[in-house]
Structure formats: structure tokens, C-alpha cells
């Protein structure tokens, strides 16, 4: 099992450009999450999907959109990138049982110039 | 929302010594407390978790203790080794927000040989 995979690993954008971060999991999990990690800020939830066909905002959703394409895949889109979106983005998945075990991907390091 | 405080933010120990990281949480309904280890350039990896029906859990050199009355839980690493050097995150679910995890700010552990 590959677990949670993310593409790309690195990306540099100019302000105003758009891009989509891809995430896939092969653990048959219902829930998937997108986090951003900034220095000294820990992990902050951007969006999540409790099951296929549903998505909800997290703590910091502004400037982002998501799509739960199917049970395996959950993408994060930046429509008009801003320097404040420079961060490391992590996707996670979980079985969404009573206990919210989550497993993380390797991350995408995004720089917006 | 759930608030998770983690201390210390940095911890330097001599190889072979013990390391202890403490987290406090605010939601008394929280029932699951995971710990993640993040090595440089990688995603967080779940290393141990504890559920609210037990007070302590061990896995080789790592252990987690939970005090539900005081609303705090701690990670203990014994006989530290250089490969234990990493950033460690605690987390707790926020029941009123669908059990979404709130993460502590992280502890950077350095094990000196």
C-alpha cells in the first residue's frame, strides 16, 4: 500500500496563477483532509471531506476550493494564488470511526512569488 | 473551538536521557489523543495514540499518559536516540465540530549524541 500520495512535491507560482494539488489514498478511508503548515503555526485545517460527495470548510478555507473526485481522490485548488498561501500543504485520510485516526501524505511545498 | 496547548516548543536532551512533552486540551468531550512525529521534509507520522478509557499506553521506548480530570496528556520517550530528533505534534478532537482534530503547536526535539 502506498498510503496517502500527493503531487506535486514542489511548486513555484506567481501571484494570480492557479493550480491544483492532488491527493489520493489507497486505504479505503471515508474521510480526507487538507492542512497547511506554516512555521510556528502547527497544522491548520483548510477543508475536509467526511465522505464521498461531501466537503466542508475548516479553520482557514479562504482562497481555496476542493473537490472530492471519488473515494480515493481529494484535490485542493488555488484559483488566484497569493504570497500568503506560501506554505507546506498536507493531505490526510482517516477511517472516520469513533476515533479520528488520520494518516498524512508527504506534503507539497508551495511558494508564491 | 478546541484549544490544544503544547509545551515545550523546543527540547534538547542528551542521548540516552528521557524526553517528556505535555499537551493540554479544552474540550472535556475529547476521547482520542494521537501523537505524530514529523521528520525534516516529511509528513507527520502517527506514532502512538491513547483513548479516553485508559490512563497509559506503551510501545517500546515511547509511552503516553492521559489525565482526563486535568485535561492533559503527555508523551514520554525513554533512552533517546539520535533518530528520535524530529518535531512532535499532539492533537485532540473537537466533538462539537464533528471530531475534527486540533493540533498543538509542535515540539522540536534534538537528541545530542
Could you report the per-residue pLDDT of A31-86, keeping only the tens digit for each? 999 999 998 778 999 999 999 889 999 999 999 999 998 999 999 999 999 999 99
Query: How far, in Å, CA of A61 to CA of A66, rounded?
Result: 10
Cell of B89: 505534534
> For residue A99, what is the nearest residue in chain B, using CA coordinates?
B32
| B27 vs A5, more confident | A5
Closest CA to A19 of A64, A91, A78: A78
As a whole-number percent, the residues of chain A with pLDDT over 90 amount to 83
pLDDT at A71: 95
Contacts of the segment B44-53: beta carbons below 8 A, 24+ positions apart: B44/A43, B44/A90, B44/A104, B44/B89, B45/A104, B46/A101, B46/A102, B46/A103, B48/B75, B49/A99, B49/A101, B51/A99
Q: Which residues of B touch A44 (CB under 8 A)?
A: 103
Statement: residue B1 has pLDDT above 70: no
* Arithmetic mean of pLDDT, A11-34: 96
Q: Which residues of B touch A48 (CB under 8 A)?
A: 100
| A9 vs A95, more confident | A9
* Arithmetic mean of pLDDT, B23-41: 93
Residue carrying the nine cell digits 482526563: B68
Q: pLDDT per residue over B85-95, tens digit each? A: 999 999 998 87
CA distance A18 to chain B (A): 24
**Yes or no, beta carbons of A101 and B46 under 8 Å apart:** yes
| B45 vs A99, more confident | B45
Q: Write the residue in B49, B100, B104 that is nearest to A101 by C-beta.
A: B49
pLDDT confidence band for A7 (50 / 70 / 90)? very high
A88 at B interface, C-beta within 8 A: no
Mean pLDDT (chain A) is: 93
The residues in A 9-38 lying below 8 A from B, measured between CB atoms, are: none
CA distance B16 to chain A (A): 28
Q: Write the residue in A40, A41, A102 that is nearest to B101 by C-beta.
A: A102
**B106, exposed or middle or buried, with CB in 10 Å at 0-12, 13-18, 19+?**
buried
pLDDT at B97: 73
pLDDT at A33: 95
* Arithmetic mean of pLDDT, B90-109: 88
Cell of B73: 496528556
**Yes or no, beta carbons of B42 and A50 under 8 Å apart:** no
Q: Write the residue in A42, A56, A90 that is nearest to B105 by C-beta.
A: A42
Query: How far, in Å, CA of A19 to CA of B26, rounded?
Result: 37
Amino acid at each position: 500500500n502506498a498510503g496517502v500520495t500527493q503531487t506535486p512535491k514542489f511548486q513555484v507560482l506567481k501571484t494570480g496563477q492557479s493550480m491544483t494539488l492532488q491527493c489520493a489514498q489507497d486505504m479505503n478511508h471515508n474521510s480526507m483532509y487538507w492542512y497547511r503548515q506554516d512555521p510556528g503555526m502547527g497544522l491548520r485545517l483548510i477543508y475536509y471531506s467526511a465522505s464521498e460527495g461531501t466537503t466542508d470548510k475548516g479553520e482557514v478555507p479562504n482562497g481555496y476550493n476542493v473537490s472530492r473526485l471519488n473515494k480515493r481522490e481529494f484535490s485542493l485548488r488555488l484559483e488566484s494564488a497569493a504570497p500568503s498561501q506560501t506554505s507546506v500543504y498536507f493531505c490526510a485520510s482517516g477511517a472516520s470511526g469513533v476515533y479520528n485516526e488520520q494518516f498524512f501524505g508527504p506534503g507539497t511545498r508551495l511558494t508564491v512569488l | 473551538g478546541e484549544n490544544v496547548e503544547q509545551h515545550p516548543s523546543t527540547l534538547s536532551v542528551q542521548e540516552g536521557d528521557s524526553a517528556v512533552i505535555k499537551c493540554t486540551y479544552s474540550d472535556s468531550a475529547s476521547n482520542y489523543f494521537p501523537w505524530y512525529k514529523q521528520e525534516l521534509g516529511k509528513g507527520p507520522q502517527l506514532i502512538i495514540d491513547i483513548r479516553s478509557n485508559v490512563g497509559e499506553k506503551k510501545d517500546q521506548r515511547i509511552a503516553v499518559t492521559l489525565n482526563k480530570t486535568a485535561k492533559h496528556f503527555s508523551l514520554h520517550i525513554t533512552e533517546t536516540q539520535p533518530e528520535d530528533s524530529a518535531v512532535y505534534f499532539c492533537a485532540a478532537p473537537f466533538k462539537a465540530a464533528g471530531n475534527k482534530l486540533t493540533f498543538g503547536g509542535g515540539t522540536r526535539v534534538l537528541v545530542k549524541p
